[in-house]
Amino acid sequence: MKNKNTEKKDNNRRKFLQLGLLSGVSAIAGTTLVSNLSQDTEEEKKAVSGEMTKVLTPDGKLVEIPVESLNHYPEAHVSTKEARKGIPNRKFVMVIDLAKCKNARKCVEACQKGHNLDYNEEFMKVQLIQDNEQASPYWFPKPCFHCEEPPCVTVCPTGATFKREDNIVLIDNERCIGCKFCVTSCPYSARQFNWGHKDKFDNKEQAYSPETQLPASEGTVMKCDFCPDLLRAGELPYCAKSCPMGVIYFGDKNEDIVTNGEETVRFSELINDRGGYRHLEHLGTKPNVYYLPAVNRQFPLERGFNIDEDVIERYKKVPYVQDLKKKGKL
Amino acid sequence: MSEIVKKRVIDKKFVTILESTPNSSKIWIASLVLIILVGLYAFILQVLHGHEVTGMRDNVVWGVYIINFIFFVGISYSGAFISGILHFFDTPWKNAVSRIVEIITVLSLIIGPIFILLCIGRLDRLHYLFLYPRIQSPITWDIIAIMTDLVGCFIYLYLTFIPDFAILRDDEKLDVAPWRKKVYRFLAMNYQDTPEQKAILKKITRTMSAMIIAMAIVAYTVLAWIFSLTLQPGWNSSIFAPYFIIAGLYSGVGVIIICMFAVRKFFKLDLYIRKVHFIGAGVILLVLAMLYGYFTFSEYFPRWFSHKKNDVQLLDTLFSTYFWEFILANYIGVLVPVMILFFKRFRTINFITFAAVIAVLGLWLNRYLIVIPTLETPYLPIQDTRPEFIHYTATWIEWALSAAGIASFCLFFTLLVRFVPIIPVSELVESAQKSKIKVDQKRK
């Protein structure tokens, strides 16, 4: 996105938007594209007063630009009010291809980095599932399902958690009173609570937005958010972007397209042809995350154990893992 | 008129309770205050360090606090129910217990919701419940129901107090601090016990007694819905509302018996709170124990019989990790009271009180088993390495605050007993008058 912007050298505004952001608040540079595109024409119509100011470019040069071209930080920031509406005309969906997952945990790590989460805080969890004793176990990446009928939203007494037009379920942690009813009502255990204070909550460099969930706040709930800040920038969520196996497809149901970054496919065809299903369909929550069954697996399950000792311990109750341990293979 | 004034003097027995505070009572009050102070310290720690100091974590997000909440609100609900019935049907033996029941009702209804506040992560944002209310949320229903219930119970309790306040105001021999006299005067609202006032008061009390029964049922049903409207395997049950109501009545009658025993023992009111009252309450407890046992059975048996995967997971947890708790709560807590109360020769005051203690403790454990194991066995099994995220154990902070809750219940109960007669003296006067009239008629 940065490259695209700087390439268009004839467009002053774009360029200086970049400049302004980087010289002012360096960390936020990523979030502007989509929202700004729509505003460009209007803003460019504004009269130019001719007043000039000096700014520092990313590569250390001092340049003079018109004052009007300066991008002030809040433009990158999606306010809570905007965040409640969602991105127009989109219906985001995710498809997770269980046949390809080998528990590389890159999705977890990228998500943690992107959301400034600690080691044990995971919006995306990879669970080891064994449906029955005969069936072979498989790795099951589990984000928030952003249900069509989210029980968490129904039970929230203050409207702190909400469902947007673009399918995403978000939390406004400035509204959340921490009653934890949403946590108990989510059948997928997707939500986490900030039990104590952490230093990172004090980092006010970035203004809070429900779209980034940063900075997090003590005594409130957080969860996987489908990374709307990246979506606005025309990028894939952290998990989909970082998966080396292309397990996670993400896209728009309206356009009937999903992509894992390498291949782009029709959503409906993918679900029809590959037997796509939703987890715990019988609960009637209508998730927006679909799974492709773990058939014709591309990797032996054991490869998934090439991870931290601590994480392997999580799966100790799965019969298959107990079997492996008995045989001394783990 | 002079005759009425003559009779509007309190029995000596109650005068001593109201006038003096013996040393034993002072020690009792001091130790209660101490427990509450420890609880206060625990609360400050929780506010300073956040909920990290509790045993609650991401899977078990509700712990002992919410159990205490249901427990206390349950007691209050049953108090309202029983008191309402006593007044509505003008039960003959209501005099001995109605005041105790009413005090229990209001106190537990104040203490219960405090526990739900302890459960809330951002107390500083509590007013958001009113700023941004969402009527779809069962929590909003619960707030409305409990607040209505609280107001209703207060009005009702106050109505039953008015004639007593009038007597306390009029009794010139009563030697209490002048401020207390002033308070009595204010609270008596110029009630002079004229036949007209009496009729009005009786009418209002009767209406209110019917209303608080209804309000209590609504409030406790909504409370049960907080659990049963979710999709969790152990909670999503259609019988939860009536089950909670029976369970609440069961624990409530238990607490009433315990309080009757304590008041009788401590204030030597053997003449007023008699064995017949204990037997009456004991028989109600017996009926409720059987009903409660029946509901508990109806709750677990189908889960076991139809053995859906997630129900089996829950039952496995109940019968492994929580084996003894399950036995204590759902076998001992039902069968022992039933055994004691079923046989006539066991129906002594001490045995009945013992049965009540078992019932109350068993019921608290039963609530624990409804809340905690369910949260420990979600649809997707917990895969975590941190023990506190897999298994819930309450920390000393939670226990200290629970103890403080019980202590404040006892403290306020003790203080109220010292402030107003624990037996409605106005009713005693009235029933004495009634029996006198009867005797007169017979003589004629």
Q: Are the Cβ atoms of B139 and A155 closer than 8 angstroms?
A: yes
In this prediction, residue B434 carries a pLDDT of 67
Per-residue pLDDT, averaged over B45-61, amounts to 95
A39 touches chain B (CB under 8 A): no
Pick the residue of A179, A278, A289, A313 with the most B CBs within 10 A to test the interface with B by mutation.
Answer: A179
User: Which residues of chain A does B229 touch, with a Cβ-Cβ cutoff of 8 Å?
Assistant: 155
Residue B378 preceded by cis peptide, ω within 30: no
B382 touches chain A (CB under 8 A): yes
pLDDT digits (tens, 9 = 90+) for A4-30: 444 444 444 444 444 444 443 333 333
A313 touches chain B (CB under 8 A): yes
Q: Which residue of B has its CA nearest to A182?
A: B230
Interface of B with A in 104-163 (CB under 8 A): 119-122, 125-126, 128-129, 131-134, 136-140, 143
In this prediction, residue B422 carries a pLDDT of 81
A311 touches chain B (CB under 8 A): yes
pLDDT of B6 > 50? The answer is no
- A–B CB contacts, 8 A cutoff, strictly below: 131
Q: Are the Cβ atoms of B119 and A195 closer than 8 angstroms?
A: no
Q: Are the Cβ atoms of A314 and B121 closer than 8 angstroms?
A: no
Q: Does residue B162 sit within a domain?
A: yes
Tally the C-alpha atoms within 13 A of residue A20's C-alpha that lie toward its C-beta. Answer: 20
Per-residue pLDDT, averaged over B197-226, amounts to 92
d(CA A32, CA A55): 19
In this prediction, residue B438 carries a pLDDT of 64
User: Do B423 and B96 contact (CB within 8 A), yes or no?
Assistant: yes
pLDDT digits (tens, 9 = 90+) for A24-41: 333 333 333 333 333 444
Please name the member of A125, A184, A311 whose beta carbon is closest to the beta carbon of B62: A184
B59 touches chain A (CB under 8 A): yes
d(CA B110, CA B151): 11
B51/chain A closest Cα distance in angstroms? 5
Q: Which two tokens stand for residue A280?
A: 């715990």
Count Cβ neighbours within 10 Å for each residue of B164-189 and write b for 16 or more, e otherwise.
bbbbbbbbeebebeeeebebbeebbe
Q: Does residue B435 sit within a domain?
A: no
- Beta carbons within 8 Å of B96's beta carbon, 6+ residues apart: B260, B272, B273, B274, B277, B423
Q: Which two tokens stand for residue B353?
A: 């009180």
User: Do A288 and A147 contact (CB within 8 A), yes or no?
Assistant: yes
pLDDT digits (tens, 9 = 90+) for B355-372: 999 999 999 999 999 999
User: Which residues of chain A does B143 touch, with a Cβ-Cβ cutoff of 8 Å?
Assistant: 157
B48 touches chain A (CB under 8 A): no
Tens-of-pLDDT digits for all 330 residues of chain A? 444 444 444 444 444 444 444 443 333 333 333 333 334 444 444 445 667 777 777 677 788 877 766 655 444 688 899 899 999 999 999 999 999 999 999 999 999 999 999 999 999 999 999 988 888 899 999 999 999 999 999 999 999 999 999 999 999 999 999 999 999 999 999 999 999 999 999 988 888 999 999 899 999 999 999 999 999 989 999 999 999 999 999 999 999 999 999 999 999 999 999 999 999 999 999 999 999 999 988 888 888 898 888 899 999 888 888 888 888 877
In this prediction, residue B54 carries a pLDDT of 96
d(CA A104, CA A139): 10
User: Which residues of chain A does B62 touch, with a Cβ-Cβ cutoff of 8 Å?
Assistant: 180, 184
B383 touches chain A (CB under 8 A): yes
- For B9, counting Cβ atoms within 10 Å of its Cβ (0-12 exposed, 13-18 middle, 19+ buried), the class is middle
A305/chain B closest Cα distance in angstroms? 15
Strands A248-252 and A257-259: antiparallel
In this prediction, residue B2 carries a pLDDT of 39
Q: Which of A74, A93, A103, A41 is nearest to A247 (CA)?
A: A103
Q: Does residue B253 sit within a domain?
A: yes
Place of tokens 């990290």: B52
Count Cβ neighbours within 10 Å for each residue of B124-151 and write b for 16 or more, e otherwise.
ebeebbeebbbeebbbbbbbebbeebbe
Q: Which two tokens stand for residue A134?
A: 């005969």
Strands A92-97 and A248-252: antiparallel
Place of tokens 């409370």: B223
Q: What are phi and psi of A161, to 5 degrees?
A: -105, 140
Task: Kindly indicate the confidence band of residue B130, based on its pLDDT and cuts at 50, 70 and 90.
Answer: very high
User: Do A260 and A240 contact (CB within 8 A), yes or no?
Assistant: yes
Please name the member of B51, B131, B138 whose beta carbon is closest to the beta carbon of A195: B51
Place of tokens 């109650």: B14
* B440 or A88, which is more confident: A88
Q: Does residue B437 sit within a domain?
A: no
Radius of gyration of chain B (CA): 23
Q: Which of A192, A187, A97, A189 is nearest to A139 (CA)?
A: A97
User: Which residues of chain A does B52 touch, with a Cβ-Cβ cutoff of 8 Å?
Assistant: 195-196
A282 touches chain B (CB under 8 A): no
A224/chain B closest Cα distance in angstroms? 14
* A242 or B434, which is more confident: A242
- For B289, counting Cβ atoms within 10 Å of its Cβ (0-12 exposed, 13-18 middle, 19+ buried), the class is buried
Q: Does residue B439 sit within a domain?
A: no
Strands A264-266 and A257-259: antiparallel
B374/chain A closest Cα distance in angstroms? 10
pLDDT of B334 > 90? The answer is yes
Complete DSSP assignment for B170-197:
H-TT----HHHHHHHHHHHTT----HHH
Q: Which residue of A has its CA nearest to B375?
A: A184
Neighbours of A54 (CB within 10 A): 8
Average confidence score pLDDT of chain B: 90
Per-residue pLDDT, averaged over B226-252, amounts to 95
Please name the member of A179, A184, A314 whose beta carbon is closest to the beta carbon of B383: A314
pLDDT digits (tens, 9 = 90+) for A171-219: 999 999 999 999 999 999 999 999 999 999 998 888 899 999 989 999 9
In this prediction, residue A42 carries a pLDDT of 43
Q: What are phi and psi of A289, to 5 degrees?
A: -115, 125
Q: Are the Cβ atoms of B378 and A187 closer than 8 angstroms?
A: yes
Q: Does residue B294 sit within a domain?
A: yes
Q: Are the Cβ atoms of B383 and A315 closer than 8 angstroms?
A: yes
When divided into structural domains, chain B yields a total of 1
pLDDT digits (tens, 9 = 90+) for B159-206: 988 988 888 888 888 878 888 888 999 999 889 889 999 999 999 999
Calculate ∠ Cα B400-B403-B406, nearest 5°.
155
Residue B408: give its domain's CATH number. 1.20.1630.10
Interface of A with B in 162-181 (CB under 8 A): 175-181
- The domain of B399 spans 2-430
Q: Which of A208, A205, A201, A211 is nearest to A24 (CA)?
A: A205
Please name the member of B57, B121, B129 whose beta carbon is closest to the beta carbon of A158: B129
Residue type, B258: I
Per-residue pLDDT, averaged over B205-222, amounts to 92
- Beta carbons within 8 Å of A286's beta carbon, 6+ residues apart: A147, A148, A149, A278
Q: Does residue B257 sit within a domain?
A: yes
Q: Which of A139, A221, A108 is nearest to A174 (CA)?
A: A221
Q: Which two tokens stand for residue A275?
A: 């037997």
Q: Which residue of A has its CA nearest to B384?
A: A314
Task: Kindly indicate the confidence band of residue B13, based on its pLDDT and cuts at 50, 70 and 90.
Answer: confident
A46 touches chain B (CB under 8 A): no
pLDDT of B28 > 90? The answer is yes
